[in-house]
Structure 1
Amino acid sequence: MNETHENGTGMFGGADEANPLMRIQEKMGGMFIAWGGDGGEFTGVPLVESFDEYYAEYAAIRQRVGILHMPQRTVVKMRGSEACDFLHRMNTNDVNGLKVGESNHALLLNQKGRIDVDMIVMKVGEDELWLEVDQHNASRLIESLDKMIFTEDIEFEDCSDQLEHIALHGPAGVKLLEKLRTQETEGLSGIELWEHREVKLHGVDCRVYRRDDAGSLGLHVLVPRDALIAIYGEMVRASGWEAGAEVDAEWAEKRREGLRGRPIGWMAYNTARIEAGTPIWMIDYGTDSLPAETGIIDELVSFTKGCYLGQEIVARMHSRGHPKRILVGLKLDADKIPVAGSAVTEEKNGESAIIGGITSSTASPLLGNQSIALAVMKWGKHRAGSKFSVVAEEASIAAETCTLGVM
């Protein structure tokens, strides 16, 4: 993921189209990074890195509610009488077992068993599925599935210019949405993991699914693009946050009486999701990865369903016991943070041997700002409690493997 710490839309091609909130978020103090891009140019999707209050944004995730716009996500709709059965035969998870209102996390593999597309699958109706994917994968997903259709009754719709994703992370997420909900629609109290509901917010039909990817309650709201500015604004107002507000007794009283939430950026979310042990597609695993290497295979793969594309390789790997490498957590004995791509090494016969690599890293507020990371490690070197070294800020730092997540 390309990144920058400067404001201004000039570095992003088609910024307003890729992120309709960008100019508003700039006025709110947002600083941006580019998700994706080509050849080092900042042509990717602009998303807020932070609103220059990182610790307050992180605290909102853990204690109140943080509002995160995710313009890098989109939805592909599948419709037709054979849509569910067809996707069940194509991806790694159980689609036919889903009831309307349920969802799961799944992969589309290639014939070599490596990951082609990562998706959230929502069953919206008996003949309709919503597949949430990275913006850069929408056309690939449609092309890959379309070429497998012979006579099935299925049609696809790329909703990249129709739907936007706003994630609410934190224990007060339901309370915030209740402030916006039109009362004749179903509320969100008691929503279960991977459940999704249609809810009218600020008079607009939206869909909300639950995935606690940051280690707190996570409500993911799919909003019509033409209502994005209004709904995002209402969420921010309902949270009790005001841009440039004067911090005085009146402001403090209003914050105490309100939800004490706020808009957040990628930096705070990234810290929280690494603490929670949530890997991200194209950051911690990608198109060169096998499902067994992701560290979350039980979330991604059903071993009780029938055949699907790439299933023989997955089954063979499962029966043989383990992959050659796997994603795990690391704790570092210092506050220095290794960058993605840093080697994990061990001393052997007086020489340093590479046995893994860092994919994500952060300083963990939960551990007193101790550095933690996700890393792909050789099998046998991945077991919790194993001790190695990592280069961080030009220093060799002792590190210990752990399970994904420190919560």
Structure 2
Amino acid sequence: MTYNSLLLSRPGAVAAGGVDAGVAAHYGEPLPEQRALAGGKAVADFSHRGVVSVSGPDRLSWLNTLSSQQLTGLKPGESSELLLLSIQGRIDYDARIIDDGETAWLIVETAEAQPLAAWLNSMKFMLRVEVSDVSEKWGVLASTHEVAEWDQLLRWQDPWPNVGPGGYAYSPIEQARHPGYERPWFEYLVPIEDLVNTVGERRLAGTMASEALRIAAWRPRLGVDTDEKSIPHELDLIRTAVHLAKGCYKGQETVARVHNLGHPPRRLVFLHLDGSHHTLPEAGSPIHVEGRAVGTVTSSALHYEMGPIALAMVKRSVDPSITLTVVDGEQNYDAAQEIIVAPDAGQVVGRQTGFIRGRHA
């Protein structure tokens, strides 16, 4: 069933496509909307996102055994992030989780909800849990600031870029300087039928605005900055979505082996793009060094202050100091790198020196 948000009826709304189909790309003023969203003067319609509910007395201990995150001590109202991995440690699902004391709510990408609910139901066995895809009944509204009038709504607060308990930072910059701190992020669960009334007269910002702020914060997004081979280490997701000291779960062996003894084969980077072309490279555009392909653009946007920016996945061996070339058809873009995941990320056993300053929280 195709979803179209009731907020697409707002004046100036232009529908988004791709992974954000169903909500607005913008409402007529992409850059002013982005500035307003960054300043807490607009909210974003994420009602196309998937929502899966997990209820029952065994819900948190059960999810704890399945996922990369330590959840047994999750208190009502606390926010966290979890990954469900393959045996090879590759990311199958990335979920925001918040518990209300009776139900754990998983906020996921649109395409994840139905298969995630089906997979969780297949794993219930004799446990006291009930799993439902409730995406048709519940939506999400997002903001960079807490909305006082929405304090009665269940609110997920993005832990990024904090290093959570049991986590580890793969970025070489000082923690306090991480650009993610410039984008606090809150997602509110709202009944779909109350979406319009909840927004009221507040200004709306489209996905062009929210994506630009996400990219500037170095925040990876499943299905956008990932592919079927992605492991958490490549995306710096060990900091928020993986507890390195928790018990056994599917994919843990790979997580531990790469972190302690190996290196991720690829690394996420932030790109400052040449702005003289007045265009943006498409996701999937190859990245070259001296004519040799070394990576791929995963997402790009026009930022209201920095201009054209992007996230990209490159080979670990790529020199972080060199200028890259993004090739999009006949158009080439020069791109300067900022390191999100250090080239020497991983292999923490016996580590003495290197780019990485990450640590357990």
Same fold (TM over 0.5): yes
Match of 1:51 among 9, 14, 27: 27
Deviations 1:136-172 (A, max 9, x none): 2122112222222222111112211211111123xxx
Question: Is the aligned partner of 1:277 residue 2:224?
Answer: no
1:134-145 map, 5 Å: 134-145=109-120
Question: Is the aligned partner of 1:299 residue 2:240?
Answer: yes
Match of 2:313 in 1: 376
Distance 1:397 1:223 in 2: 41
Match of 2:351 in 1: none
1:55-204 map, 5 Å: 55-125=31-101, 127-169=102-144, 173-174=145-146, 177-178=147-148, 180=149, 199-200=151-152
Return the index of the structure with the highest Cα Rg: 1
Q: Is the 8 A contact 1:35 1:46 kept in 2?
A: no
Q: Aligned partner of 2:335: which letter?
A: A
Match of 1:210 in 2: 157
SS in 1 for 2:335: strand
Alignment RMSD, CA only? 2.3
Distance change >3 Å, CA 388–CA 226, structure 1 → 2: closer
Distance 2:258 2:120 in 1: 24
Distance 2:329 2:250 in 1: 43
Q: Is the 8 A contact 1:332 1:399 kept in 2?
A: yes
Q: Aligned partner of 1:21: which letter?
A: L
Match of 1:401 in 2: 337
Distance change >3 Å, CA 335–CA 276, structure 1 → 2: farther
Match of 2:304 among 359, 365, 373: 365
Distance 1:55 1:61 in 2: 10
TM-score (norm 2): 0.81
Q: Is the 8 A contact 2:159 2:240 kept in 1?
A: no
Match of 2:13 among 4, 24, 30: 30
SS in 2 for 1:144: helix
TM-score (norm 1): 0.73
Q: Once the 2 structures are TM-superposed, how far is the Cα of residue 22 of structure 1 from its aligned partner?
A: 4.6
Q: Aligned partner of 1:341: which letter?
A: G
Distance change >3 Å, CA 163–CA 290, structure 1 → 2: same
Q: Is the 8 A contact 2:47 2:192 kept in 1?
A: no
Match of 1:329 in 2: 270
Q: Aligned partner of 1:218: which letter?
A: W
Q: Once the 2 structures are TM-superposed, how far is the Cα of residue 61 of structure 1 from its aligned partner?
A: 2.0
More displaced 10-residue stretch of structure 1: 290-299 or 53-62: 290-299
Deviations 1:13-37 (A, max 9, x none): 74xxx13415523xx110012344x
Distance 2:227 2:80 in 1: 19
More displaced 10-residue stretch of structure 1: 333-342 or 273-282: 333-342
Unaligned runs of 5+ in 2: 161-179, 342-361
Distance 2:7 2:135 in 1: 17
Unaligned runs of 5+ in 1: 1-12, 37-43, 182-198, 201-205, 240-261
Q: Once the 2 structures are TM-superposed, how far is the Cα of residue 320 of structure 1 from its aligned partner?
A: 2.3
Alignment: residue pair count: 319
User: How much identity, in percent, do the aligned residues show?
Assistant: 29
For CA contacts below 8 A with separation 6 or more, give which structure has more relative contact order: 2
Q: Once the 2 structures are TM-superposed, how far is the Cα of residue 130 of structure 1 from its aligned partner?
A: 1.2
Distance change >3 Å, CA 68–CA 139, structure 1 → 2: same
Q: Aligned partner of 1:359: which letter?
A: T
Distance 2:338 2:50 in 1: 33
Q: Aligned partner of 1:19: which letter?
A: N
Q: Once the 2 structures are TM-superposed, how far is the Cα of residue 392 of structure 1 from its aligned partner?
A: 4.7
Deviations 1:265-315 (A, max 9, x none): 111111111111112110111333112222332212110111111111211
Distance 1:56 1:62 in 2: 10
Question: Is the aligned partner of 1:226 residue 2:173?
Answer: no
